[in-house]
Amino acid sequence: MQSEIIISHNDLYKWHSDTLAQIDKEKLTDAFLYSLSTKDLTYRPYLACYVFASSIPKHNIDKEVYESGNIACKYCGHCETYPQNTSHLESELINWGGVRVDQVFGATYYLDKFLSLNLVKPSKKDFDILNNIIDAILVSDNETKPRDLEKIFGKIFKSNKGQRETLIDQLGVIGILETETYKGYHTKYTPPNLREIPPVSKIDWSFPVCWWRGKNKINFETYDHFFGHYSELVRL
């Protein structure tokens, strides 16, 4: 695939639906878990991508024309006249485990890539890491913020700051870390122009995890939906 792609809204969503139809959800959770102990970040983003991509309702393009002349869809954010750079996506995958999982082109690109990966299975180390991550969230105090989690996670599994930030963002996209007001995509789809962020000068986190606090703990139903079939994981 070429590094810069211009793709129409219709063609993107045909690719999107064809790709989703081939995905096995349990293989996605296997890959996510596998990435935790192995540090193989090329297996990390697909669960978040799947949740986001699956959440987008069918829609016709709601055109917005920018001053540059580029045409985008206000409902999903896809710009069908601007080149999508896949080399950036590959770099972000290798270094951080995939950043643009809440963008329809990025999520579809990664899911299509997943279909060609070798299948993997998580080990005891992977299950232990996720159990410890969930335990750390559940015992956090009410005012714990995503940055506090990032520092705590650094004591749980080998990773750098950027990789932990990306993981926390993905837990938000999935809907494991969300709030009563600001939901992850397993719960509901939120268009780009409605993804509010806190009114601060600098924000390190994506929607919705930017709003998460320790008092929100985790969405137990979402966690169980994706990870409840693993006997090795703590049942909540």
Question: pLDDT tens, 56-85?
Answer: 999 999 999 988 889 999 999 999 998 999
Give the pLDDT band (50/70/90) at residue 1.
low
The percent of residues above 70 in pLDDT, for the chain, comes to 99
pLDDT above 90 coverage of the chain, percent: 91
pLDDT tens for each residue of 190-204: 999 999 999 987 889
Place of tokens 């940055």: 147
Task: Give the pLDDT of residue 67.
Answer: 86
Global model pTM greater than 0.85:
yes
CB 66, CB 14: distance < 8 Å? no
pLDDT reading at 90 higher than 60: yes
Q: Where are the domains of the chain?
A: 4-114, 124-227
> What does the mean pLDDT of the chain come to?
96
How far apart (Å, rounded) are the C-alpha atoms in residues 234 and 236? 6
pLDDT band at 236 (very low <50, low <70, confident <90, very high): confident
